[in-house]
Amino acid sequence: MTSRLNKIIRDLSKKNPTLVGDIVNSATTRKVKIDSPQLSFLFGGGIPIGRMIRFRGPESSGKSIISCYCAAQLQKKLPAFLGAPEKSVIVYVDFERTFEAKFASQVGVDTGQGSFVHLLPDDIETASDTLAEMIKTNEVACVIFDSDAAAPTRAMFVDPSGKSNFGSGAKALAEMLKKVNILCANYNTTLFWISQERVSMDAYAKLPTVTGGEAPKFYSSVVNRVTKTDVIKEGNETAGISIRVRNYKNKAGVPFRDANMNLYYNGGFRPDEEYIDFLASFGIVKQKGAYFYVEGEDKGLQGRVRLQEWLDSHPEEYERMKGRVDEMLVSENIFDEKKEMVSEGVNIGTLKSYDVIDEEIGDDILEEN
């Protein structure tokens, strides 16, 4: 590089510090480690900072609560990660008007004044302008946009019912994302975007369509589909639901991974349950039938409950095991390591990888219906 070009770059950097990126930071995705090993595996080691993450799926499948859980992890861990104590505010854009602070607090969200903004815009344009100003303060850790299906444009909100407005919502969202996407990257703010799946109006369509137009798909660095797979019963009462989060696009890590989680109505997610799956999958704890064998112990532990009791009573050993799991989840060669485990007879049932995208989504929806 010539001295003349160097001078131009230095001058540009003085006028606009974000114009010329530092290749170490601007072209390298930074991720925040999270408590859930299933989601850590899904994202490829942690939640990417400053990116757009889309959760799509049918109604009542768990999209909002998973977004809240991820937001809570950033709220708790991002200030120390970036060395910015003020970077802990969550902005919840509630177009659906369905946010419940009680449920959000169960997955770790701090909804106290100064830590949480419950934004209630009437239209997309207002949301776009407001978010831009908030993000520029550099205090917003993440934004949850819930949801594009419920977001009207300003014209739609004031015009009489029944007036044609084809494509106006998608156009407004596209214009919003052009601006907000850049601001999120510049200010290390992660955007969680929620999209509903609806029945397609095309008479020949076999599959539901996703709301929000085409722009959310293109601007998203990570696209996940969330579905409810089962109901958790405790006696005769419904205690929660089992959720599957399947990845179809990941520009910040390894794509096409699967996460299976249990959401309890009283308590939220339980990472300890997830760690047991990975301890057995990675061979850190040997499993033979219903028995688990911990290194150094003569007798096997029957069932997951007994194993969890042993882990809780040996906190130092448990933390060491979880550290080994976390190291493997961050590894880009995790599937090569899995092949070695298979040759050793290790159970890897909870770890999956998918090689197709649109066809897989279609097969999922057809199977559910």
Do residues 116 and 187 both lie within one domain? yes
What CATH number is associated with residue 80?
A: 3.40.50.300
209 alpha carbon, distance to own chain's centre: 21
What does DSSP assign to residue 353? B
Q: In terms of DSSP bridges, do strands 140-146 and 89-94 run parallel, antiparallel, or are they unpaired?
A: parallel
Enumerate residues 6+ apart whose C-beta is below 8 A from 165: 153, 155, 156, 159
Do residues 122 and 232 both lie within one domain? yes
54 in Cβ contact with 216 (< 8 Å)? yes
* pLDDT value, residue 23: 78
Do residues 208 and 173 both lie within one domain? yes
Do residues 240 and 280 both lie within one domain? no
3-state secondary structure of 287: strand
Do residues 184 and 52 both lie within one domain? yes
Query: How many residues are listed for the chain in this entry?
Result: 369
- Residue 353 lies inside a defined structural domain of this protein: no
- Residue 13 lies inside a defined structural domain of this protein: no
Q: How far apart are CA 55 and CA 225, in angstroms?
A: 6
161 backbone φψ class: left, alpha, beta (φ>0; ψ -120 to 50) = beta
What does DSSP assign to residue 226? E
Do residues 33 and 179 both lie within one domain? yes
Mean pLDDT by 10 residues, the chain (369 residues): 89 86 80 94 93 95 96 97 96 97 95 96 97 97 96 88 81 96 96 90 70 93 95 91 94 91 91 90 90 88 92 94 89 52 43 48 58
Question: Across the strands, what pairs with 268?
Answer: 264
211 in Cβ contact with 148 (< 8 Å)? yes
- Residue 281 lies inside a defined structural domain of this protein: yes
- Residue 234 lies inside a defined structural domain of this protein: yes
Do residues 188 and 124 both lie within one domain? yes
Do residues 227 and 281 both lie within one domain? no
Do residues 304 and 233 both lie within one domain? no
Boundaries of domain holding 328? 276-343
Do residues 311 and 238 both lie within one domain? no
- In total, how many domains does the chain have? 2
Q: Look-up: residue for tokens 């977004």?
A: 67
- Residue 197 lies inside a defined structural domain of this protein: yes
3-state secondary structure 199-250: CCCCCCCCCCEECCCCHHHHHCCEEEEEEEEEEEEECCEEEEEEEEEEEEEE
- Residue 349 lies inside a defined structural domain of this protein: no
- Residue 368 lies inside a defined structural domain of this protein: no
Q: Per-residue pLDDT tens for 198-233?
A: 877 666 666 678 889 999 999 999 999 999 999 999
44 backbone φψ class: left, alpha, beta (φ>0; ψ -120 to 50) = left
Count other Cβ atoms within 10 Å, centred on residue 317: 14
Q: What single string gives the DSSP state of each residue in 120-166? A: --SSHHHHHHHHHHHHTTT-EEEEEEE-GGG---HHHHHSPTT---T
- Residue 17 lies inside a defined structural domain of this protein: no
Q: How far apart are CA 12 and CA 39, in angstroms?
A: 40
187 alpha carbon, distance to own chain's centre: 19
Do residues 315 and 241 both lie within one domain? no
From 217, 233, 264, the end of a domain falls on 264
Do residues 137 and 286 both lie within one domain? no
What CATH number is associated with residue 332?
A: 3.30.250
Torsion from C-alpha of 180, 186, 190, 195, nearest 10 degrees: 20
